[in-house]
């Protein structure tokens, strides 16, 4: 899941000179992920992982890193 | 004339709330007193009327005080986009020949300290009265320039006042309105927030930036603040509509929404209209040079997912015409900018009987205007204007670059993104160029991807073949 998310983020949403070196806890928001990027990321994740991510859980804390994203999306998958 | 409606409110209701930000608010009387103190401080520094003063502050109460301070000193303000790397900020301050830079605390390291004024150090004082004419400049908004450098669109007091009054009348703005503000002051959308809203005695509520990323909390904020109107961009409204939990958070106080800056995709607008059944929606259109020249009150029955929405009818007493051969929209009217500001002086638009050629391709169907894209090469990325020529000029200036060209690629998140075709000396890679660009331009100007070529495609006459370059850059990897 993390690999798919990372691939989507760095090919579609933000530029990074070396995505391979971008850590799983590194801050995506500081790297340039903005509100439009978050919206696209959520729509991608909902489709790719067949899950509905609740509106009220869309928060900077849940999208700030690859680890945070994975934890959030896995949690949503389990509770559905 | 731009300041008169605001000053009238300051006299009539000095105790009324003008600005609200997080836990802080300011009355009309306080806003007036604090901005007059800054005006007096600027005059003491020797700032002359009619010339620019830059503002190095994020949008919010402090920036609003600073900007009214500049106007009360008779000068015009240049709001800086602090997301720009220092070299671009320094270029803008130098190019504008700003007499002073207003901010908080210590001066940024890239700035000559003599120009810096910390707004908190200005003691209460009244500025000397300045005679301001309709043609006096009020604001210079820097955008990407087709000549290869950023350039400032110079707005006069008369032009901003014409738009503000028109927009306030359109929705009957009143003192009991509570308007949300989310646009940085370097975008022309902010002229509504500052002059229409404060000219009618309403209160302006600065949206906390973090809520752009938390749509459900954004809707709660709009509801709890009982926001009655908001002028913002389609992308944020689409996020709010799709993910803002509006079914559980009905926005009953919200009586109008204006949107501009990018095309609102019809499916997203249909979704928004369904979620906000009682809110009147307006599509505003116009380059910064015209402010708003066209508007369309959204007719819900006319919306269809596969049909782009019109840009509508002439706004703010503008006259419109379509160039017969090119289909270009030409605009004439009171809200037009005066010209471009560069190298410390105003260059008027070419004199064409007052007409300004927008570079936008339009048509007219059943009396309503429709937008069909740009004639030139300008891109719209996350609502920002990006001129490919500005990126090309910087790349061509780098050692080891033999040739380069920039074209737009479609991007579902940002509308468009620049992409870069390069011809490099053998010791360089495109990563070297990208790393250098990261230091020169803000994120929205960074290329989505780069391709290295042996040579750039050219036409028979030797000019770059942008059509083929566009094709190469848009080819799926």
Q: Which residue has the tokens 């109008």?
A: B256
CA distance B434 to chain A (A): 7
For residue B477, pLDDT over 60 is answered with: no
All domains in chain B, ordered by first residue: 4-372 (3.40.50.12780), 380-474 (3.30.300.30)
The CATH number that applies at residue A64 is 1.10.1200.10
Q: How far apart are CA B205 and CA B254, in angstroms?
A: 13
Q: How far apart are CA B394 and CA B430, in angstroms?
A: 14
Q: How far apart are CA B49 and CA B368, in angstroms?
A: 41
Q: How far apart are CA B279 and CA B206, in angstroms?
A: 20
Look at A55 and B244 and tell me if their CB atoms are within 8 Å: yes
pLDDT of residue A75: 94
In terms of Cα–Cα distance, which of B447, B402, B455 is closest to B428? B402
In terms of Cα–Cα distance, which of B22, B143, B103 is closest to B389? B143
For residue B476, pLDDT over 70 is answered with: no
Q: Give me the residues paired with residue B116 across strands.
A: B101
Name the residue facing A56 among B245, B382, B413 (closest C-beta).
B245
> Which residue in B has a C-alpha nearest to residue A34's C-alpha?
B213
Which tens digit of pLDDT belongs to each residue from B220-253?
A: 999 999 999 999 999 899 999 999 999 999 999 9
**b (16+ CB within 10 A) / e for A20-53:** eebeeeeebbebbbbbbbbbbbbebbeeeeebeb
Query: Do residues B437 and B447 touch, judged by C-beta distance below 8 A?
Result: yes
Could you give the dihedral angle defined by the CA atoms of residues B151, B157, B158 and B159, in that order, rounded to the nearest 10 degrees? 30
> Which residue in A has a C-alpha nearest to residue B449's C-alpha?
A15
pLDDT band, very low/low/confident/very high, at B146 (cuts 50, 70, 90)? confident
For residue B113, pLDDT over 60 is answered with: yes
CA distance B453 to chain A (A): 20
Q: What is the mean pLDDT of chain B?
A: 94
Query: Do residues A13 and A7 touch, judged by C-beta distance below 8 A?
Result: no
pLDDT of residue B157: 98
Q: Give me the residues paired with residue B450 across strands.
A: B420
- When divided into structural domains, chain A yields a total of 1
pLDDT of residue A20: 87
For residue B279, pLDDT over 70 is answered with: yes
- Which helix (H) or strand (E) segment holds residue B438: the answer is helix B430-440
CB atoms within 10 A of CB B380: 18
Query: Do residues B316 and B163 touch, judged by C-beta distance below 8 A?
Result: yes
Interface check for B180 against chain A (CB to CB < 8 A): the answer is: no
Cα distances (angstroms) measured from residue B53 to each of B88, B185, B195, B226, B405: 17, 14, 19, 35, 35
Q: Which residue has the tokens 């994203």?
A: A69
Which tens digit of pLDDT belongs to each residue from B364-397?
A: 999 999 999 888 888 988 888 899 999 999 999 9
Which residues span the domain enclosing A57? 2-14+23-78
> Which residue in B has a C-alpha nearest to residue A42's C-alpha?
B243
Look at B431 and A13 and tell me if their CB atoms are within 8 Å: no
pLDDT of residue A73: 95
Q: How far apart are CA B160 and CA B137, in angstroms?
A: 10
């Amino acid at each position: 899941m993390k690999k798919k998310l990372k691939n989507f983020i760095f090919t579609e949403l933000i530029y990074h000179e070396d995505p391979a070196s971008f850590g799983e806890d590194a801050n995506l928001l500081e790297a340039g992920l903005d509100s439009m990027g978050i919206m696209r990321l959520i729509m991608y994740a909902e489709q790719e992982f067949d899950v509905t991510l609740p509106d009220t859980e869309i928060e900077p804390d849940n999208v700030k890193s690859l680890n945070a994203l994975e934890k959030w999306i896995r949690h949503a998958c389990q509770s559905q | 004339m731009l300041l008169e409606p605001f000053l009238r409110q300051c006299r009539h209701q000095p105790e009324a709330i003008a600005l609200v930000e997080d836990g802080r608010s300011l009355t009309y009387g306080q806003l007036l007193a604090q901005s007059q103190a800054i005006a007096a401080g600027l005059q003491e520094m020797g700032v002359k009327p009619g010339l620019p003063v830059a503002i190095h502050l994020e949008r919010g109460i402090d920036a609003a005080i600073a900007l009214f301070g500049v106007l009360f000193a008779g000068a015009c303000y240049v709001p800086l986009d602090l997301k720009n790397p220092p070299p671009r900020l320094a270029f803008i301050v130098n190019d504008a020949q700003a007499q002073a830079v207003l901010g908080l605390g210590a001066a940024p390291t890239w700035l000559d300290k003599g120009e810096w004024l910390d707004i908190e150090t200005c003691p209460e004082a009244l500025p000397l009265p300045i005679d301001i004419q309709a043609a006096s400049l009020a604001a210079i908004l820097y955008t990407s320039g087709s000549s290869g450098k950023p350039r400032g669109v110079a707005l006069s007091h008369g032009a901003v006042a014409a738009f503000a009054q028109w927009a306030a009348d359109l929705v009957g703005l009143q003192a009991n309105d509570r308007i949300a503000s989310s646009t940085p002051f370097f975008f022309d959308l902010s002229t509504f927030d500052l002059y229409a809203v404060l000219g009618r005695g309403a209160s302006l509520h600065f949206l906390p930036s973090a809520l752009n990323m938390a749509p459900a909390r954004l809707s709660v904020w709009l509801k709890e603040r009982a926001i009655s109107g908001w002028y913002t961009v389609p992308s944020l409204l689409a996020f709010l509509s799709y993910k803002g939990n509006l079914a559980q958070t009905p926005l009953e106080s919200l009586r109008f929404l204006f949107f501009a800056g990018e095309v609102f995709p019809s499916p997203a607008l249909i979704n928004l209209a369904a979620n906000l059944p009682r809110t009147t929606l307006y599509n505003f259109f116009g380059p910064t040079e015209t402010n708003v020249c066209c508007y369309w009150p959204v007719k819900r029955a006319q919306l269809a997912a596969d049909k782009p929405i019109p840009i509508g009818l002439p706004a703010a007493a503008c006259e419109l015409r379509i160039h017969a051969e090119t289909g270009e929209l030409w605009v004439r009217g009171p809200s037009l900018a005066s010209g471009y500001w560069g190298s410390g002086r105003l260059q008027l638009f070419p004199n064409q009987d007052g007409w300004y050629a927008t570079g936008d391709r339009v048509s007219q169907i059943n009396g309503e205007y429709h937008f069909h894209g740009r004639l030139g090469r300008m891109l719209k990325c996350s609502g920002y204007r990006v001129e490919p020529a500005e990126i090309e000029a910087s790349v061509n200036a780098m050692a080891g670059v033999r040739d380069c060209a920039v074209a737009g690629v479609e991007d579902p998140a940002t509308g468009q993104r620049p992409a870069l075709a390069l011809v490099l000396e053998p010791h360089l890679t495109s990563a070297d160029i990208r790393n250098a660009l990261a230091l020169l331009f803000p994120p929205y100007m960074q290329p989505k991807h780069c391709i290295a070529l042996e040579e750039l495609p050219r036409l028979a006459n030797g000019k770059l073949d942008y059509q083929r370059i566009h094709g190469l850059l848009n080819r799926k990897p």
